[in-house]
Structure 1
């Protein structure tokens, strides 16, 4: 299964490029403490708003801090938020989706209506409302992003389970008295993993964008954390005077999101039998 998926994935050149971009940013984030040329909060008043040069490859910000160093450390923050928010929403959404799809009836009605209520709000507005209640911080932004993505996973898993539970091998398992827990964990869940993995990859890109948006609005990462959205917010005043302070964090966000989207498309094509030739 893994070999077949990899063979299908690597046929998509754009997906391989996307995976390469993602791996690059993961490596940069993990090794940021060792390869960053400056500390993230090293301020040099004499070097304020310097353009890119041999000394400062991506220039400096309004406090004289090295932008390259802050972007490298920001990769760790942004990817951490993206991964953990998606893991949390995938776990909760999968549990609710399986429960709704397998047991149906009133449980399905309650869970589905809850999903509908959450999906009725624009995701970023719902995230803003949650963070406003919990308080501005990177951790609360992570919680908010996880909550708003739960319905996405829940509805995907529910629709998959509704089809799976009608399969003959599930009906046979029930007829011989196999317990629901065993059916769910040995048959239903393993066969629902493909859409969860694909959606998870795509949702990481969305989560990074949402974290950047909350940081830009001052509701996510707080100064002096080098989160990319926060860097954009802090530099917007100097857009005309020092455009590199906005350009490079924006490019980092764009490339990371693009990488996850390309990789997610490749995984979808490799894991979905209908997409195979």
Structure 2
């Protein structure tokens, strides 16, 4: 028998069958998600803020940096959320601030997922010295409180929105890396992976065709929950003056500017704070719903 026979390729009917099964599974997930009350509420909140961020130019009645002589005016028909100490319309600034918060959350968590998942894949699949080095790197990053580490990174790089985004991405890498590593350690012992090895598949093909697709679900759930955490971390850095710089209308920066007027003009803090709370609530509810739908252990 020839020793170097070409590895058999899956037939076209089998490939079509796999595609149909995957499409059917996706439909089942979407139906289950739409029946999940918390997920629907969270998704509606997230969609609302996404639309606000996209349509802020058309919705906002004023430019976020436009000043007026109406200093610290309470909410009225002219200024729905009132004005701040410089006469700027708080409603317009909250609308434009959604762009900054969502952008920071998206790019920071996307970077964390890509880098953390890649490192977790390598550590879990190959093991050995690679696993030791990567795991110790994660342990070092996790040894520091996340917000303190973010403050230290921004302090070294300098205040600014992009540096805050980078800091938030770095501090969230270990979360996704350790989660992916644990998934890979579990999945690589499954029969279909052992069968792929027996068929002579390369490590790269096994990683990206078999292990990664079957390890992705917890990463999706954690990414949704991590988005909420990133919004809070961005607001915290902005509150400390290390994130977005004036006159950018970042919600944390707005809270920092308004803290001196909490008794005189409480609306200057209430509305940015509500925006942060609702955004975080929306992503948390959506993440909990995804976890309940995608994790078989959570199904009743």
Out of 125-134 and 169-178, give the one that drifted further.
169-178
Aligned equivalent of 1:107, options 130, 134, 137: 130
- 2:262 corresponds to: 239
- 1:7 corresponds to: 31
User: CA offsets, 1:183-202, max 9 Å, x none?
Assistant: 11111111111111100000
- 1:78 corresponds to: 101
Q: Compute the displacement of 1:10 (Å).
A: 2.0
- 2:187 corresponds to: 164
Runs of 4+ deviating beyond 6 Å: none
- 2:63 corresponds to: 39
User: Does residue 229 of structure 2 align to residue 218 of structure 1?
Assistant: no
Aligned equivalent of 1:186, options 186, 189, 209: 209
SS of equivalent to 1:178: coil
> Using the alignment, how far apart are the partners of 1:135 and 1:33 within structure 2?
30
Aligned equivalent of 1:58, options 81, 84, 87: 81
1:12–1:266 contact (8 Å) kept in structure 2: yes
Q: Compute the displacement of 1:231 (Å).
A: 0.4
User: Does residue 181 of structure 2 align to residue 132 of structure 1?
Assistant: no
- Structure 1 alignment gaps of length 5 or more: none
User: CA offsets, 1:230-260, max 9 Å, x none?
Assistant: 0000111111100000000000000000000
Structure possessing the higher relative contact order (Cα contacts under 8 Å, 6 or more residues apart): 1
Q: In terms of Rg, which structure is larger?
A: 2
Calculate the aligned-residue CA RMSD, in Å. 0.7
User: Does residue 247 of structure 2 align to residue 255 of structure 1?
Assistant: no
Q: How many residues align?
A: 276
> Using the alignment, how far apart are the partners of 1:75 and 1:9 within structure 2?
25
TM-score w.r.t. the length of structure 2 is: 0.91
SS of equivalent to 2:88: coil
- 1:142 corresponds to: 165
- 2:92 corresponds to: 69
1:8–1:269 contact (8 Å) kept in structure 2: no
SS of equivalent to 2:215: helix
Q: Compute the displacement of 1:5 (Å).
A: 1.2
- 1:196 corresponds to: 219
